[in-house]
Amino acid sequence: MAALQTTTNPASRHPLAVESREMIKSCKQQNKNLSLFWIKAHAGLPGNERADELAKAAALKLKKSPDYSLCPISFAKRNIRGETRKEWNQRYINGETASVTKLFFPDALAAHRIIKKMTIEAETTQLLTGHGGFSSYLYKFRCKDNPSCTCDPGVDETVLHLL
């Protein structure tokens, strides 16, 4: 079903889907009728059972072992996860957003190790992000007339000021 959906999705750029769509287009240009259907596997349908037999036979005739057998899947997953986390951390560090959060957690990987052990509540999120009932934050959205703090009108009421 996934292959059928990928093939019929014009936005899909998967090479096999693109090639399949080109072949379908070529058939239509030759005035040939072509219909694609999803058929439930292992339901006893003769054509589907024959297709399964042919696919198994073709797989057994391959002289080359599949590339994915060269290393354990756990190794591949760990490497992909590590690279993804590095990319995430670089985007976090180099990003122009999350300035308040970066005051508490300058590194996303270290932050993740700490935060996953915490019970996060609304107030904690507001404090760590600066997105809460702080005058400086509310002033940005015109919910307050000025960003100053009640304790010192010359200073903006920010997370750091309150802490």
Q: How confident is the model at residue 73 (pLDDT cuts 50, 70, 90)?
A: confident
Tens digits of residue pLDDT in 91-141: 999 999 999 999 999 999 999 999 999 998 999 999 999 998 999 999 999
Cα(39)–Cα(45) distance, rounded to whole angstroms?
9
Q: Which two tokens stand for residue 126?
A: 């507001």
Cα(51)–Cα(55) distance, rounded to whole angstroms?
6
Tens digits of residue pLDDT in 145-160: 999 999 998 999 999 9
User: Alpha carbon of 74 to those of 84, 107, 108: distances in Å?
Assistant: 15, 26, 24
Of residues 107 and 51, which shows the higher confidence score?
Answer: 107
CB 34 within 8 A of CB 28: yes
Among residues 88, 3, 80, which one has the least CA distance to residue 38? 3
